[in-house]
Chains A and B, each alone.
Chain A
Amino acid sequence: MSRAKLQGLGIDLPLFPITSVGSFPKPDFLLKARADFASNKIRRGALEKAERQATEFWIRKQEELGVDVLVDGEMYRGDMVAYFAENLAGFEDGGLVRSYGNRYYHKPIISDEVHWDEPITLEWWKYARGITSKPLKGMLTGPYTIMDWSFIEYYPDRRTACVALAKELRNEVQALIDEGAKIIQIDEPAISVRPEELPVAIEAMHIMTDGLPAYFISHICYGAFENIYPGMLDLPVDNFDLEMSNSGLAMLELFKRRTYTKDISFGIVDSHSHLIEDDPTVEHRLRQALEVLPKEAIWVDPDCGLKTRTADEAVAKMQAVVNAAKALREEQ
């Protein structure tokens, strides 16, 4: 239980803190600006203006909804791995590959020694922090996932590449903390895929977090959790942000067999479905969580980032999360 840690950092949250995983859909004006920038029709300054406008839109929307711990919405990012690869030395663009359905991303190539030259996400965190008084997560993709979702040409093996990335990305964590970030989320959706490599991911997370004063969250999704549970509890973070709804809350069965020992950001709506779950469905998922987990440990959010939904769908899904949290707060 990490409430004491949060309070020690000066953050007091209600029961079932409401948050989101990180990304929100980009408004049409930003999509157009990105397309115009890609075809050299506008300059970077004009694109950044649109990105700031979109960031403010989502900050205000989260505040209106009653979200407790905000995100900047990642309006300035394309893909979660490619964004960091574009901003770290040692990577080259590897072209488009498909992730699912009609979704593609630029899978980077590690073609040289990786190096963090300057802060990557910090200016956006500072911008968002400047326009809201709510707690705001610092957000970065973890070293294991960046390694796993890249082609590795420079390093001799996966562990060497992952550790090298962790050493460099720790600078980003430190930079966020230096500017006042108290809650930092390190996304590792790839972590459940190769159970035999869990020790590598744990080693990398230690490099990223050891000795640093922040409440750490790690988002993991769309994998075979049964392969890494309970071993994943050795990851040095305070909170796992988990995709639960897409898998029919299957992880709760694992938690029944072996006690879950951290805080959890419990995904109570499916991020990759157009269907907007009704309030009873979402509340029921939260009630099922309460049957297995202590109420003080539970945060609520969608399964995953909402960038693949329309803006209306994303708002509706967040509204469903808020409604469930508020309804059950009243009962507790």
Chain B
Amino acid sequence: MELALCNHSSYPRIGDDPEHQLLRRTIAQHDKGEKTDEAVRAAQDRMTELALAEQTEVGVDLVTDGQIRWADPISHLAGKLSGVRVNGLLRFFDTNLYFRQPVVEARPERTEPLLLEEFRFAQEKSARPVKAVLTGPYTLARFSVGENGASSGFEQMLEGYTAALAAEVAALAAAGATVIQIEEPALLQHVDDFPRFEQCLTAVASSKDSAQLALSIYFGDPSAVYDQLQTLPVDILGLDFTYSPGLADRVISNGTARTLMLGLVDGRNTRLEDPAAVARQLEELARGAGLNRAYLSPSCGLEYLPRDRARQKLKQLAVIRNTFLGSPS
């Protein structure tokens, strides 16, 4: 099996070294009126470059920009759309990260690019291909609230978010993104809503042009919808294997019609995986499901870990691959 290493999405924007505190320091000074917007952007640029360099250095084949500029996984995209304002803090799933909840006052509309400049910057600075990552329309809608209450206008929200993200995917593909990842962790909390989810994902996929579209599902066991996920018009399917030992059995028994992004390394806990154990899992998956090609990745974004541990997790990917291939690490 051909095995490529990829980062999932986010990467820590801070670390214990003074160099890694640049962005925090600059934003704090900006809030006091001591630094300009340009200084904040420059700090974001620098931390993005560091994130790209660290991924490349440890051998990741498909890197991301680390989402260094994102305030959170929801408001960074939703907050740029017309018809949406950003409100109070809510917890992002069961993580220790909080996001600002979008309040949808009118159908969300994309009036400017959302990630295009960020992607261009990262691609220009990276020695490796950069995966563009967007939180998907279904998750954005599930974490938004209508102006008049939690459930009002969900269809309108979803429709608006879907159209906006489809346009962004088209723009990213036109800008040269070869892999575009849509993140939809909210699906696992609403598996009965799969038909509606499929509809919006299909609309987004229709604008990908020649780019490969990856769908990433995490923070839960996707076994219950595994067969349905196989029917979606995506090229790569990212799965979080840390929630259920049964998922690997499901993949082996049912096979896959998509290239899998195997989230076998826990992106949320500092405990390092045993490379031999993960390599055995890979061997079983490759043989059992007949995989010719796959990505090995963390189970989710790495921003939930301290920087040194995030880096170790990425290094561990390379150790696992070498163990899997029978090479010395």
Do A and B pair up? The answer is yes
Question: A residues engaging B (CB < 8 A)?
Answer: 94-102, 104, 107, 109, 148-149, 151-153, 192-194, 222-224, 246-247, 270, 272-273
Q: Tell me if B308 and A222 are in contact (CB < 8 A).
A: no
> Which residues from B are CB-within-8-Å of A223?
90-91
Check A151 against B269 for contact (C-beta < 8 Å): yes
For B288-325 the 0/1 string (1 means CB < 8 A from A) is: 00000000000000011111110000000000000000
B88-A247 in contact (CB<8A): yes
Other-chain residue from A96, A151, A193, A270 in contact with B88 (beta carbon distance below 8 A): A270
Q: Is the interface of A mostly helix, strand, loop or mixed?
A: loop
CA distance A101 to B90 in the complex (A): 12
Interface string of B97-136 (1 = CB under 8 A from A): 1111000000000000000000000000000000000000
With a cutoff of 8 Å between Cβ atoms, the chain B residues found around residue A273 in the complex are: 88
Select one of A98, A224, A247 contacting B14, CB under 8 A: A98
Choose from B93, B97, B99, B270 the contact partner of A153 (Cβ within 8 Å).
Answer: B270
Distance between Cα atoms of A193 and B23 in the complex (Å):
29
Also in contact, A102 and B94, with CB within 8 A (given A94-B309, A222-B89, A246-B89): no
Question: Are B307 and A272 touching (Cβ within 8 A)?
Answer: no
Interfacial chain B residues near A194, Cβ < 8 Å: 94
> Separation in Å of the B286 CB from the closest CB of chain A?
29
Q: Are A152 and B269 in contact (CB under 8 A)?
A: yes
Contact between B96 and A99 (Cβ–Cβ < 8 Å)? yes
The reply to whether A151 and B28 contact each other, CB–CB distance below 8 Å, is: no
The answer, yes or no, to whether B27 is at the interface (CB within 8 Å) is: yes
Q: Which residues of B contact A224 (CB under 8 A)?
A: 90-91
**Smallest distance from the beta carbon of B143 to chain A beta carbons, Å?**
11
> Which residues of B sit under 8 angstroms from A149, Cβ to Cβ?
96
**Which residues on the B side are within 8 Å of A109 (C-beta)?**
270
B12 at the interface (CB under 8 A from A): yes
How far apart sit A123 and B267, CA to CA, in the bound complex (Å)? 39
Q: Which of B31, B71, B100, B306 contacts A96 (CB 8 A)?
A: B306
**Interface bits B72-90 vs A (CB < 8 Å: 1, else 0):** 1000000000000000111
B1-45 toward A: CB 8 Å interface, digit per residue (1/0)?
000000000001111100000011001100100000000000000
- A40 nearest CB across to chain B (Å): 15
For this complex, 24 residue pairs linking A to B, each with C-beta atoms less than 8 Å apart, are A94-B306, A94-B309, A95-B16, A96-B14, A96-B15, A96-B16, A97-B96, A98-B12, A98-B13, A100-B72, A100-B89, A100-B100, A102-B27, A104-B24, A107-B306, A109-B270, A148-B94, A193-B94, A222-B90, A222-B91, A224-B90, A224-B91, A270-B88, A272-B89
* Contacts known (A95-B307, A96-B16, A98-B97); A151 close to B24, Cβ less than 8 A: no
Residues of chain A within 8 A (CB-CB) of B97 are 98-100
Closest CB in chain A relative to B299 CB, distance in Å: 14
- The CA of A86 and the CA of B31, in the complex, are separated in Å by 30
- A100/B27 in contact, CB under 8 A: no
- With A95-B307, A152-B269, A222-B98 as known contacts, state yes or no: A102 contacts B91, CB within 8 Å: no
Cβ B24 vs Cβ A102 within 8 A = yes
Complex Cα spacing A101 to B74, Å: 12
Known pairs A96-B15, A148-B94 / 12 extra A-B pairs, C-beta < 8 Å: A95-B308, A96-B14, A97-B306, A98-B97, A98-B303, A100-B97, A101-B71, A149-B96, A151-B270, A153-B270, A192-B91, A222-B91
Chain B residue with minimal CB distance to A223? Answer: B91
Expressed in whole angstroms, the Cα–Cα distance for A194 and B93 within the complex equals 9
Contacts of B270 in A (CB 8 A): 94, 109, 151, 153
Given contacts A101-B71, A104-B24, A222-B90, contact A96 B307 (CB under 8 A): yes
Complexed CA–CA distance, A330 and B28 (Å): 42
Q: Which residue of B lies closest to A195 (CB)?
A: B94
Which residues of the partner chain B approach A222 to less than 8 Å between Cβ atoms?
89-91, 98
Q: Is the CB of A100 within 8 A of B98?
A: yes
Most buried by A among B16, B98, B269, B304: B98
Q: Is the CB of A102 within 8 A of B90?
A: no
Q: How far apart sit A109 and B27, CA to CA, in the bound complex (Å)? A: 28
Q: Determine whether the beta carbon of A193 is less than 8 Å from that of B307.
A: no
Q: Is B96 a contact of A107 with CB atoms below 8 Å?
A: yes
Q: Are A97 and B91 in contact (CB under 8 A)?
A: no
A246 and B269 contact, Cβ closer than 8 Å, known pairs A96-B15, A98-B14: no
Bound complex: CA A194 to CA B308 (Å): 28
Within the assembled complex, what's the spacing in Å between the Cα atoms of A273 and B307? Answer: 29
A194 to B243, CA, bound (A): 14
In the complex the two chains form, what is the Cα distance from A314 to B171 in whole Å?
Answer: 45
